[in-house]
Structure formats: C-alpha cells, structure tokens
Amino acid sequence: MIFQETELKGAYIVDIERREDDRGFFARSWCRREFEAHGLNPHIAQCGVSFNVRKGTLRGMHFQVKPFEEAKLVRCTMGSLRDVIVDLRPDSPTFKRHRSVVLTANNRTMLYVPEGFAHGFLTLEDETEVHYQISEFHAPEHARGFRWNDPAFGIAWPADVKIISERDRNYPDFSG
C-alpha cells in the first residue's frame, strides 16, 4: 500500500500497490501492520456502505465527539465522488482547514480520516457507492455535524447539490 500524508496531519491518501499479471492484478486494500507503522488507528469496529442513486447527492458534514471519535477509511467502489474532510482538532495547526480528494471506482484511491475530523462527500455520478471501515461503533448521542456550506470552511463543492437529507441541510454552522 502507498501512504501519502496530506497537509492535514494524520490524514492520508492511501493507494493500492498493484501486482499485475495476465489475469489482471491483486492488491491489498487493508493491512493492520502497515497502518500501525504509519501511526494510524488500525481498529475496525464497523464497516458500512453508502449507495447514492443520483449525481449531486451530498452527505455531510459528519463527525462523532469524544469518547466515540471515529477514524475512517473511505473508498469509492462504484461511480465517483468528491470526498471532503475538515480538521476539527482545536490544538491542531490546521484547525478548520479542509482537504478534498476525488475517489472513484477506477482509481481505487482511499482516504484515511483520523479522529477529530468531519467528513462528507458529493457524488459526481449516478449510482455511486462508498465503502467505509470505521474504528468506533456508531453512537447517535455523540454524532454531530455542521452545515455543508458553512462559510467558516469555504469548501468549494465541484457541482450543485441536488439531493441532501433534511438533517444535513439543517445542521447549524460550526461553533467550535
């Protein structure tokens, strides 16, 4: 696996390392030892799938607060999306900065989202599916979010938002 740390400390773009032959290729998409070697949380409590019927579907911005903060490994398994993370760690030099990455079924790139970050995405194609490996169990009483277009972060989404849940649309601006 190929790990590239982003400018947001602890957040990584992770690519597979293909071993190709005449059949196609094989690659690991997860290795506890490699995640540990990079100082990343290797614990997986849950895996989830998000299927999104239409292009322009926005999910986010979501996070869980202590003691149930989550690390996530996010991969697009069908279609494509713009994935966005925001550093919400008040003591971080990149507090309130964001990073976006295009994840597609074809590029097989993954995004490691550390604890203390918000996460969201906008689908770029119809029938986009996202796979998550999550370090912590979902704890609804510790789930939080902020508005996807909160001016505090200046996230430039690449297309119009056409579908968004009532909850995500009505999140307040960030107050941290």
pLDDT value at residue 176? 75
- Does residue 175 form part of some domain? no
Sequence-ordered list of residues with C-beta below 8 angstroms from that of 158, at least 6 positions apart, any chain: 82, 122, 124
The CATH number of whichever domain residue 33 belongs to comes to: 2.60.120.10
User: In degrees, to the nearest 5, what angle opens at C-alpha 151 toward C-alphas 149 and 156?
Assistant: 55
Q: Is 132 a catalytic residue?
A: yes
- Does residue 61 form part of some domain? yes
- Does residue 176 form part of some domain? no
- Binning the chain into helix, strand and coil, the percentages to the nearest 5 are 5, 40, 50
- Does residue 96 form part of some domain? yes
Q: Which of 62, 131, 142, 171 is catalytic?
A: 62
- Does residue 111 form part of some domain? yes
**Residue 1: closest CA among 32, 28, 20, 24:** 28
User: In degrees, to the nearest 5, what angle opens at C-alpha 133 toward C-alphas 139 and 53?
Assistant: 90
Taking the C-alpha atoms of residue 176 and residue 173, their distance in angstroms, rounded to an integer, is 9
**Residue 60: closest CA among 129, 143, 123, 121:** 121
- For residue 72, the enclosing domain spans 2-169
Give the count of beta carbons closer than 10 Å to the beta carbon of residue 149.
Answer: 15
Structurally, the chain folds into a number of domains equal to 1
pLDDT value at residue 175? 87
Q: Is 62 a catalytic residue?
A: yes
pTM for the predicted model, two decimal places: 0.96
pLDDT value at residue 108? 97
- Does residue 174 form part of some domain? no
Q: What is the pLDDT along the chain (176 residues), one digit of tens a residue?
A: 999 999 999 999 999 999 999 999 999 999 999 999 999 999 999 999 999 999 999 999 999 999 999 999 999 999 999 999 999 999 999 999 999 999 999 999 999 999 999 999 999 999 999 999 999 999 999 999 999 999 999 999 999 999 999 999 999 999 87
Q: Which of 38, 131, 132, 142 is catalytic?
A: 132
Residue type, 156: A
Q: E strand or H helix at 144, and its extent?
A: strand 143-145
- Does residue 95 form part of some domain? yes
- Does residue 33 form part of some domain? yes
Q: Rounded to the nearest 5°, which phi and psi values hold at 110?
A: -120, 160
